Structure formats: C-alpha cells, structure tokens
Amino acid sequence: MNRNNRLKKRLGDQSLPGKASIMAQEHDQESTKGQKPALNEIQPGMEVEDTGHELGESDISKPQITAVIRDEQGQVKYLIVSKGLLFKKKVVVPASRIKEVKLEPENKKGPGEVVIETNLEDEQELTKRSLDILSDIKKGDILAEVQEALPTAEGLEALEAESKQEESKQPHPSQPSEEAGEEEQESPQEHAAHPRILQLLKDIGPGFLAGMSGNDATAVTSYAINGATAGYGQLWLMLLTTPMYQAVEYSCSKIGRTTKVGLDAILRAYYSRWVAVLAALILIITNIALIAGNLVAIGSGFELITGISWVWFVIPAAIFLWYITVFSDFNLLKKIFIGMSAAFITYIITAFVSGADWKTVLISSFVPQINFNFAAISAALALLGATISPYSMYWQMRAEIEEKRPGTMKQQFREASIDVASGTIGGNLVSYFIIITTASTLFVHHQSIQTAADAASSLGPLVGPFAKYLFACGLIGAALIAIPIMSASSAYAVADTFGWPAGLSEHPWQAEGFYIVLTASMLVGMAFALLRIDPIKLSFYANVFTGVLAPVMVIYLIAIGNSRKIMGEHRLGWLTNFFLAVTALVLVAGSVLFFYGLATGQGGS
C-alpha cells in the first residue's frame, strides 16, 4: 500500500508517457533487487522454455531471446523473446518471470537456455498478433498499467529508453469503443432471438462435421458418376458403407478421446516413426489429390455461374480458404461448415421429383448386384474412397481431442457415438439420394457426365433452367467445407509424426510447423489443380486412389483400438471390430479387382 501511495504521489500531473516511465522505473527498482548472478549470463540467441507451454518450445521453430534490456547497474530488466519463421511473434518478459538459466543445455546446442514461468492466465494476453508484454507475476499491476498507458509497440520503446514523448493517439483501454458497446448490446438480443439455433450450433460436434465433409465436391462428383454409370445397381453398397463408416469414425473418436493424441503420435510412440511416416504419406498424397479436385470444383462451380474458365478461380479460392483456416478459430470454422452443408438438401428434394423407379430403388438397396466390368468396379471403388477417406479419420480423431464433452468416459463415448452417427447417416443419406437423382435423370437416358454442366442437369426436374446455378452453389459449398479439413488433417499427421504442437485452436506462431504444413498442402494442391487436368476425371480418380490406400489406415485402427497397452479398458467392442474388418476386406477386394482390370487392359477400353 505504501509503495502504491508513493507511486501515485510521483505520478501527479505527469503526461501519459511520463507516467509510463515513472511506473517502469518503480517496477525496475523492485524487480532487479537481489538478482541471481546467473541472470547476468543471459544473452541473445538463448532458447526459451516456459513452464506453461504457451510459447510452443516443442515446435519446428523455437522461442529465442533476441534482446536483453538492462538497467543502469547492468541488471536484467526484460527479455525480448521472438518466436516463428513465417508466423512471427515477440514477447516482453520481465526478469521476475525467469526461473532458471541453463548455460549448458541438454542438447549441447546454442549458448544456453532460459526457463520462464507462464500460466493459463497468459493465454489470453498472447492471443494478440502484435508485440505483447507479460505481466510481472509479483507486481502485475504495475506493468499492466504501463501497457494500458501506451500502445504495445511504443510501450517497449518507453521501457527501453524511458521516453517522455507522447506518440499515441489511441483511446485509453478503460474507455470502451463504440463497436465494443454495440457488441455488448447486440449479443443478448441475438441470443434471445435465436436461442435454439445457437444451442444447435453449440451442440453439433466433430462427428457431424466429419460425416458431412465427407461429401466434398470430388465425392459429390463420384456419386453422380456412379449413378450415371451404374444406375441404381450400387445403392446396396451405399447402404453397406453406412455401418462401415460409423465403425471407422467412432473408432477414431474413441481412440482420440482415450489417448488424447493423434493417430501418428500413437504410431510413433507404440510402433515406430517409420510406421507413422507411412500413415502420414498416405494421407498427404490422397489429400493433395482431393484438395486439387476440390479447388477445381470451386472453379467449375463459378464457371457455371459466370461463364469464365474455372482456372481463374483456383488461386483466389485457395488464398481465401487459407486465410480462413489459419486466422480463424475452430468455433468460427465450425459454424461455416455447418452453414455450407445446408446446400446438400437439394439432392434429397430432387430425388423425389426426378421420376425415380422407387420399386427398383428399394430392391437395389437391399439386394446386391455385383458387376465385374471395369467401369462398375471403378465406380464402386470411387464410392468407397469418397465415403471412407483417410482425412476424415485424422480429422475425427484430432477434433475429438479438442471437443469438450461432459460426464464420465462412458457418457462421453455415448455422446461421441451419437455425434458420429448424425454425421455418417446424414452424409450417406445425401450420397444415397445423389445416386438416385443421377440414375433417374442421366442413366435412364444413357447420358454420361463429362463436365460440371452434365452433372448439374440432374437437378433439372426440380429447378429447370436454374439447375446449373443450384448445382454450382452445392459444388462450391461442398469444397469450402472439405478443403480446410483436408489441409488440417495433413498438418495433424506431420505434426504428430515429429511431435510438434498442433491444432486449429492454436495460434499460428505457437504451432508454426502445423500451419506451415497446412499452407504447403494448399499450395501443392493448388499447383496440381493448375495442371489443367480434366476436372471430372480428376475428381473421380482422386477418390479411386483414396479407396486404394484407405484399407491401410483401417488396419491401423484395428491394431490400435484393440491394444490393451494403448486403450486400457476402453478397447473397441466386437460390433465395431466386425465392421472395421468388413471395411478393410471390401476395400482390399475392390482395389484388387481394380488393378486386375488395369492389368488385363480393361482400363483403356
């Protein structure tokens, strides 16, 4: 209390920068008293480790000291810590935060290491994109006042030079802005107006998102080609894939919730890094093909609307999606995905006005019709790959880790099962009706799908001349849902393999390795899309390729889910195991028949 009174007396009628300098001087005198001699050994270039793991020291880029600010007696006052190669961040750390100085680090690399103290309260402060000042743990009120008195960037200069020049015209933080006031006033009204919608958005989890994102633009194209090629003949396979898909996604959900780590982290810890690398490569290769296909699909959708070649829309779409994925939090992405998935409803409505032969539909849904010609096998494998894809497995597992579910583990598993079922049933229901629609409008008239406009014509019975616009919106919406999930799943795989921090809830500078891989996935997918491969063929064969590689991932799930060492008492049940085994067998059989067709020359006919 005496110290605060003395400070208030000194402040008097000083100007804003002057007050900041006085507060900094008072703080410096207190914080540098009795410093340990080791603190004077701190120098730029030393790596930084924090107790709360808020700075991402296990990331591809390490936090390092770039400057040491000392007082007139040579005592350490502040450390300037920098983090990031592409996504940069600077943090001012007061001397009181320093816990330990290691002049001989364990890895024997660099000039040494400094351990600083951080906690959960710092997380909110570190969300700012500019330079941040961590509060003094012992005298937090003083440094907080300095930060409020001056903008952050100029605040550092004031601490270094104790400048008395006023360089800021920003309003004092204690005076709420008009925008903040409006948000505070509007938020309760919005909540009152749409309580049920907001609650629904809150309750929908990663299982629903994974199921609906499975109907990405390449998958929609594959389902449409399936209906146009095989008619109603493979509806039974669509029905069979529903419990298969449920088993796969629920396994991912249960493994994620039990272990709290991603698939590649498990493989690296309990098997070997090479096993993890194989899984990551399978995912990355399939994702690049699918990202390219979805970017082309976005371009094709805009081409239907504008008449301008799809090529011109690929780069803007990639940049937009990259920005949304990198600089938006998970909750915002969640709302975007749910909103865009509403476009799928049109296929269900169209199926009922397309003149479908419902008796044949019913028979074909429950009585398998197996055709061994190459076109039918390719369509079936593309259908399987579009439904059971590696990226949805990775996404489900990692998103389940980030999802907060109440209750005991048993209650959490039950909630996760319902969440997954809502996605798998909803997603496959849409796929089922896409096949019915194209079979009823294209197959019966012996029309094939060569362009996006051909696929759009299947919606003609519902909206007539507006079919191409509606199909375009659905195609664009489907791709917008899927591309961020695909790129994020690739990043999860690589981050888990190398032990980097990962998650869309992390800030880019905290999990830089994760976001660099995410960015690279989009860039390579964009480059692949610009090779001008036929959009329909690219979308179709991307899913064929996915179907060929997917069984490896399912076998991994069976091994992990039944390991007592990994899962403990939460191993997978017999029903889940049964459908996982069926999934692996069906995918392997489809792949063998596909390659047999290629080997015997059927693929070129």
Could you state, in order of their start, the residue ranges of all structural domains in the chain? 2-160, 203-604
Please state which of the ranges 155-159, 363-367, 396-400, 434-438 shows the lowest mean pLDDT: 155-159
Residue 526 pLDDT more than 90? yes
Q: CB neighbours of 397 closer than 8 A, spacing ≥ 6?
A: 252, 253, 255, 256, 262, 263
Digit-coded pLDDT (tens) for 207-250: 777 777 677 888 888 888 888 888 899 999 999 999 999 999 99
pLDDT category of residue 519 using cuts at 50, 70 and 90: very high
Q: CB neighbours of 222 closer than 8 A, spacing ≥ 6?
A: 379, 382, 383, 385, 386, 539, 540, 543
The dihedrals phi and psi of 255, each to the nearest 5 degrees, come to: -65, -45
The helix-helix angle for 467-498 and 217-230 (nearest 10°) equals 120
Which helix H or strand E contains 77, and what residues bound it?
A: strand 76-83
Q: What is the DSSP letter of 49?
A: E
Residue-level pLDDT at 340:
59
Contact 346, 470 (CB under 8 A): yes
Residue-level pLDDT at 154:
46
Digit-coded pLDDT (tens) for 105-126: 665 566 788 888 887 777 666 7
Number of H helices, E strands in the chain: 26, 7
HSE-CB of 30 using CA atoms within 13 angstroms: 18
pLDDT category of residue 203 using cuts at 50, 70 and 90: low
Residue 187 pLDDT more than 70? no
In one-letter notation, the amino acid at residue 4 is N
Residue-level pLDDT at 481:
77
Whose tokens are 């900094």? That residue is 24
Contact 471, 459 (CB under 8 A): yes
Question: What distance in Å separates the CA atoms of residue 193 and residue 264, rounded to the nearest whole number?
Answer: 44
Question: What distance in Å separates the CA atoms of residue 471 and residue 517, rounded to the nearest whole number?
Answer: 32
Contact 528, 288 (CB under 8 A): yes
Residue 42 pLDDT more than 90? no
What is the arithmetic mean of pLDDT over 160-186? 40
Question: What distance in Å separates the CA atoms of residue 61 and residue 82, rounded to the nearest whole number?
Answer: 10
Quick one: CA torsion of 516, 551, 340, 520, rounded to 10 degrees? 10
Residue 498 pLDDT more than 50? yes
Question: What distance in Å separates the CA atoms of residue 406 and residue 425, rounded to the nearest whole number?
Answer: 24
Q: CB neighbours of 73 closer than 8 A, spacing ≥ 6?
A: 32
Residue-level pLDDT at 107:
58
Digit-coded pLDDT (tens) for 288-318: 988 998 999 899 889 888 989 989 999 999 9
pLDDT: which is higher, 57 or 237: 237
HSE-CB of 484 using CA atoms within 13 angstroms: 28
Contact 532, 236 (CB under 8 A): no
Q: Tokens at residue 355, please?
A: 């003149």
pLDDT category of residue 558 using cuts at 50, 70 and 90: very high
The dihedrals phi and psi of 106, each to the nearest 5 degrees, come to: -60, -35
Residue 266 pLDDT more than 80? yes
HSE-CB of 222 using CA atoms within 13 angstroms: 35
Q: Which range in 59-68, 295-304, 334-343, 573-582 is most confidently predicted, on average pLDDT?
A: 573-582
The dihedrals phi and psi of 288, each to the nearest 5 degrees, come to: -60, -45
Whose tokens are 């692949």? That residue is 528
Superfamily of domain 203-604: Amino acid/polyamine transporter I (1.20.1740.10)
Digit-coded pLDDT (tens) for 415-466: 889 989 988 998 899 889 989 988 888 888 777 787 767 777 777 666 677 7
Q: CB neighbours of 499 closer than 8 A, spacing ≥ 6?
A: 58, 265, 268
Work out whether strand 64-70 and strand 98-102 pair parallel, antiparallel, or are unpaired. Answer: unpaired
Q: CB neighbours of 123 closer than 8 A, spacing ≥ 6?
A: 54
What is the arithmetic mean of pLDDT over 558-564? 95
What is the arithmetic mean of pLDDT over 95-104? 84
Q: What is the DSSP letter of 68?
A: E
Residue-level pLDDT at 588:
95
pTM of the model: 0.75
Digit-coded pLDDT (tens) for 18-29: 444 544 555 445
Collapse the DSSP code of 44 into the 3-class scheme (helix H, G, I; strand E, B; otherwise coil) and give the result: coil
Q: CB neighbours of 592 closer than 8 A, spacing ≥ 6?
A: none
Cα–Cα separations (whole angstroms), residue 172 to 126, 211, 500: 20, 47, 39
HSE-CB of 535 using CA atoms within 13 angstroms: 24
The dihedrals phi and psi of 83, each to the nearest 5 degrees, come to: -140, 135
In one-letter notation, the amino acid at residue 492 is Y
The sign of the dihedral angle between the CA atoms of 501, 504, 505, 511 is positive
What is the average pLDDT score of the chain? 78
Using CB atoms within 10 Å of the CB of residue 571, give its burial: 0 to 12 exposed, 13 to 18 middle, 19+ buried: middle
Nearest to 61 by CA among 517, 534, 580: 517
Using CB atoms within 10 Å of the CB of residue 4, give its burial: 0 to 12 exposed, 13 to 18 middle, 19+ buried: exposed
Q: Tokens at residue 236, please?
A: 């039974």
